[in-house]
Amino acid sequence: MGEGRAYAGGVSTEPALTTPAPARPRRRPLLSPRVRAWVIAGVSLLGGYLISTARQAVVRPPLVVGQDAVPPSGQDTARVTLENVGGPVIDIRPAQGEADTLLVFYPGGLVRPQAYEWLGRALAARGVQTVIPAFPLDLAVTGIGRADGLIAQYGQGKRVVIAGHSLGGAMAAQYAASNADALAGLILMAAYPAGNVSLKDRTLPVLSLLAERDGVAAPDDVRGGLERLPEGTTLTVIPGAVHSFFGRYGPQKGDGLPTVTHAQAEEEILNAVQDFLTGLK
């Protein structure tokens, strides 16, 4: 029997009445099909860009020598080889005779070592052997102590100078702060010691090169870094030069506008480095 409903004096057999549930309003989509298509396309493009950027950072270009390394003078008197000493390294030494100085050069951040090959080739004519290591991700911060193995391999019987450009210079300064007794000098190119690094109490000769039109390593910051360098540090301004003129890797985002040619700046850089090395004991 069907369910009844009670009433006074008995039970009714009339079916109970139920109230129908209210109809739910239809929800409108938050985005129209056209807008959704644009959003999906934008997300896909952004994802592709991020993947491409990450890949470029992780997979660095090949290490190739000799492609853009003619010294400013045009006279090439160097022998250049790719070697492996705790990782890839460009070894640049005089074509004739033995070197009396070893220059260990730390490249700038994300810059391939061959960008500084021009300097090593030019210095080879002065009896200098230059070794430029490649770091993981091209960041010297990943191997500040890399100079240890290079000095052990190449520095026997030579005076040793460590140098670096930009981030590489900051890491070279950090290395020098802990190993000053093993070094004859430090060269900083558009660089300065980190705020927690000081060589103030060292007697190490230091050359600091400042690019006058640098838009990456601000000239005031480079000058301020002198407070954490030994007394007697030589500050040399490269007139009209910009941050990227220390290497051969093309224009750099955020850099200044030069008022001299790249070749003119290289001549000034080379002369300053040669004078500094000549003055070392």
Residues 110-151: pLDDT tens digits? 999 999 999 999 999 999 999 999 999 999 999 999 999 999
Helix (H) or strand (E) holding 81: strand 78-84
Phi then psi for residue 203, to 5 deg, are -105, 15
Query: pLDDT tens digits for 6-36?
Result: 444 444 455 555 566 666 666 666 667 776 6
Phi, psi of 174 (to 5 degrees): -65, -40
> Mean pLDDT over residues 37-50, rounded?
59
- To 10 degrees, the CA torsion angle through 211, 217, 222, 223? 70
Q: What is the pLDDT of residue 6?
A: 44
Q: How far apart are CA 182 and CA 180, in angstroms?
A: 5
Would you say residue 201 has pLDDT above 60? yes
Q: Please state the length of the chain.
A: 281
Between 8 and 180, whose confidence is greater? Answer: 180
Q: What phi and psi values does residue 237 have, to the nearest 5 degrees?
A: -90, 130
Contact 162, 147 (CB under 8 A): yes
- pLDDT over 80 at 5, yes or no: no
| Confidence (pLDDT) at 2 | 46
pLDDT of residue 67: 85
Per-residue pLDDT, 35: 66
- In this prediction, residue 79 carries a pLDDT of 95
Question: How does pLDDT run across 149-174, given as a tens digit for each residue?
Answer: 999 999 999 999 999 999 999 999 99
pLDDT at position 210 over 80? yes
AA letter at 272 = A
- List, in order, residues 6 or more apart from 271 with CB less than 8 Å away: none
